[in-house]
Structure 1
Amino acid sequence: MQLVDLLHADAVKSIASCTSKKRLFHDLGELAESCYGFSSPTVIEALIEREGLGPTGVGQGIALPHARLPGIDAVRGIFLRLEKPLNFDSVDRQPVDLVFALLAPENAGVDHLKSLALVSRTLRDTGICAKLRANSDPATLHTILTEVQAIQAA
């Protein structure tokens, strides 16, 4: 599994301003609907419900919100780069500026966990995060995220 398999090029955006976690989930829901055809309200509700179990801000300015959704056939990703960091109740109490959301089928099981691990490993790389923070063009951001796995797989 590679990020290029999870992340459609149109599912990558840079957002100038996001005022709250709830607004961020709305942005993720709208992008999931426009890129993958998922129901925006269903995505928003699932992300909020999952976040209620515990914050998905993993530290170092990174959040990995995720949820399982009915009626989807594969794990899909959405990446947002926030130009203004957002308080996300992260484990290190630092605001978040890189958000990689994963949406998985209800019965994804191991695929969901493998996807989370892949995204987590990728965003643990400080070099990749520095490149993501230094660029705002969605095509460039997509290339940065997907190029790494392609090189490692070769």
Structure 2
Amino acid sequence: MELSDLLKPEAIRVNTGCTSKKRLMHDVADLAHAAYGINSGTAFESLLERESLGPTGVGHGVALPHARIAGLDTCVGVFLLLEKPIDFSSVDRQPVDIVFGLFAPEDAGVEHLKALARVSRLLRDPAVCTKLRANQSVVTLYTILTEEEAMKAA
């Protein structure tokens, strides 16, 4: 599972006005709607439902909100870089500024877990997160997120 299979440049945003976790979930859902046509209300409710099971803030300023969506054919992702970190109830209690939202088909099993593991591995790398935080260009952010697989292919 490669990130370029999950994410397209249109699904990346530098978010300037997010001030709360709930607002962030709306922004993730809205971006999923704009990039993939996912119903934003359904996406928002599904994200909140998943979040009620336990926070998806994984530490070091990174959150991986995810949800299963009926009618979706494949896993897709959205990426937001927040200009100002927000409280996300993360495991390390650090505010979040890097957010990768993942949406999977309702009946996805292994595919969803592989996608989540792939994103998690990438965003556990401090060098990658430093590069992401230092850039505001959607094109550059997409390149950073997918460059590891491009290097493997070369």
TM class, shorter-length = over 0.9
Q: Is the 8 A contact 1:2 1:150 kept in 2?
A: no
Aligned equivalent of 2:4: 4
* TM norm structure 2: 0.98
Structure 1, residues 21-76: CA drift from partner, whole Å, max 9, x if none?
11001111111111101000000000000000000000000000000000000000
Distance 1:152 1:60 in 2: 26
Identity %: 61
Aligned equivalent of 1:128: 128
Please tell me whether residue 63 in structure 1 is matched to residue 57 in structure 2: no
Distance 1:152 1:64 in 2: 24
Task: Give the AA of the match of 1:32.
Answer: A
Secondary structure of the equivalent of 2:145? helix
Secondary structure of the equivalent of 2:92? coil
Shift of 1:152: 2.8
Task: Give the AA of the match of 2:75.
Answer: V
Unaligned runs of 5+ in 1: none
Task: Give the AA of the match of 1:95.
Answer: P
Please tell me whether residue 85 in structure 1 is matched to residue 85 in structure 2: yes
Shift of 1:153: 4.5
Aligned residue pairs, count: 154
Shift of 1:19: 1.1
Distance 2:61 2:146 in 1: 20
* TM norm structure 1: 0.98
Shift of 1:17: 2.5
Distance 1:59 1:149 in 2: 24
Unaligned runs of 5+ in 2: none
- Structure 1 outlier segments of 4+, above 2 Å: none
After TM superposition, list the pairs within 5 Å mapping 1:1-150 onto structure 2: 1-150=1-150
Distance 2:152 2:57 in 1: 26
Structure 1, residues 104-132: CA drift from partner, whole Å, max 9, x if none?
00111000000000000000111110000
